[in-house]
Amino acid sequence: MWIYEKKMEHPVRVSCPDVGFAKLVITQYGGPDGELSASLRYLNQRYSMPTGAAKALLTDIGTEELAHVEMIAAMVYKLTEGADPEDFKAAGWGGQYAQHNHGLFWTDANGVPWAAKYIACLGDPITDLTEDMAAEQKARSTYEHLIQLTNDPLVKDTLRFLWQREVVHFQRFGEMLDIVQQHMNNPHMWNGCCMEK
Amino acid sequence: MEFIVIELNLYLDTHPCDEDALHDYNCAVKMFEKYVKEYQERCAMMFAQGCCAKTDCWDWVEAPWPWEL
Ligand SMILES: [Fe+2]
């Protein structure tokens, strides 16, 4: 089960509200390579992992990704704090205000709602861990694009922290892919050829 | 015991000034902490963060997962 900690993993600060950037960074909330997709992908894949270590890593990174969902939500909250309908309209995000007011919603930067098709689970640990490594790289690229799209140094600082976490997660998944591959090559495992060899 | 803590937590969210419930909550938390400590000493880690690991190995990855029990 899960327990909520009433704090952020890393501080989320903005110099001043910026509805235009909120409209873009929302993709890390409800977009294909966003934090929700990441968390659900890993927490769902752990059941078909062959070793305790792989189950642990997917549980722990899937849990950390939930903390990142919260950080992105806090960022959107602060970027839209005090904004009125006119501010949303001027930022080209009037549709968001029309449908959600100051409420959050799971969409990407183009308003496309979140969908389960963003995440995969083939039940093959090698396939799934490779998918996870690709997902971390896609999230890393997205953070790089977002860092280029804002001038706010405080926002950049938070995005850089999240960028760094993607790099670390990619590294850990790569290590786990090696460990799982070794485990599956171990002669006690059925690997599609005669076990007597 | 954890379930009692959860139930009292939700009750206190809507009745924050109920002193009896606060007292029950604090008693339940103390019992829960004691049981967690005992479990972790006898069996394996229950949390990956916020508790000390045994000195000889990281049993977080070794002990069975809840869906395997
Ligand atoms: Fe990640």
pLDDT tens for the 197 residues of chain A, in order:
999 999 999 999 999 999 999 999 999 999 999 999 999 999 999 999 999 999 999 999 999 999 999 999 999 999 999 999 999 999 999 999 999 999 999 999 999 999 999 999 999 999 999 999 999 999 999 999 999 999 999 999 999 999 999 999 999 999 999 999 999 988 766 655 544 43
> Could you tell me if residue A192 is inside a domain?
no
Give a yes or no: residue A12 inside a domain. Answer: no
Residue A9 falls within a domain, yes or no? no
- B6 → chain A, closest CA residue: A3
Number of residues assigned to chain B: 69
CATH at A139: 1.20.1260.10
Structural domain count of chain A: 1
- Rounded CA separation B30/B36 (Å): 10
Asked, for residue A3, whether it belongs to a domain, the answer is no
Considering the entire predicted model, what is its pTM? 0.92
Does some domain include residue A7? Answer: no
Taking an 8 Å cut-off on Cβ atoms, the answer to whether B65 and A51 are in contact is no
Q: How far apart are CA A134 and CA B63, in angstroms?
A: 29
What is the predicted pLDDT for the residue at A186?
82
What ipTM does this complex have? 0.87
Q: Which of B2, B57, B48 is nearest to B28 (CA)?
A: B2
pLDDT computed for residue B58 by the predictor: 86
Question: Is there a domain that residue A119 lies in?
Answer: yes
Cβ distance of B61 and A52 shorter than 8 Å: yes
Say how many Å lie between the CA of residue B48 and the centre of ligand 1.
Answer: 18
Which chain B positions have a beta carbon within 8 Å of A63's beta carbon? 48
Whose structure tokens read 């769902």? A44
Q: Report pLDDT for A192.
A: 57
Domain hosting residue A53, numbered range: 19-184
- Asked if B63 lies within 8 A of A47 by C-beta distance, the reply is no
Which residues share a beta bridge with A113?
A: A107
pLDDT of residue A191: 55
Distance from C-alpha of A192 to C-alpha of A34, rounded to nearest angstrom = 36
Q: How far is B47 from chain A (nearest CA, A)?
A: 10
Partners of residue A107 on adjacent β-strands: A113
Is residue A59 one of the residues assigned to a domain? yes
Q: Are A83 and A103 in contact (CB under 8 A)?
A: no
Q: In this structure, is residue A189 part of a structural domain?
A: no
pLDDT tens digits for range B16-61: 999 999 999 999 999 999 999 999 888 889 999 877 777 778 889 9
Choose among B65, B64, B37, B62: nearest CA to B52. B37
Ligand 1 centroid to residue A6 C-alpha, Å: 21
- Given an 8 Å threshold on Cβ–Cβ distance, is A52 in contact with B48? no
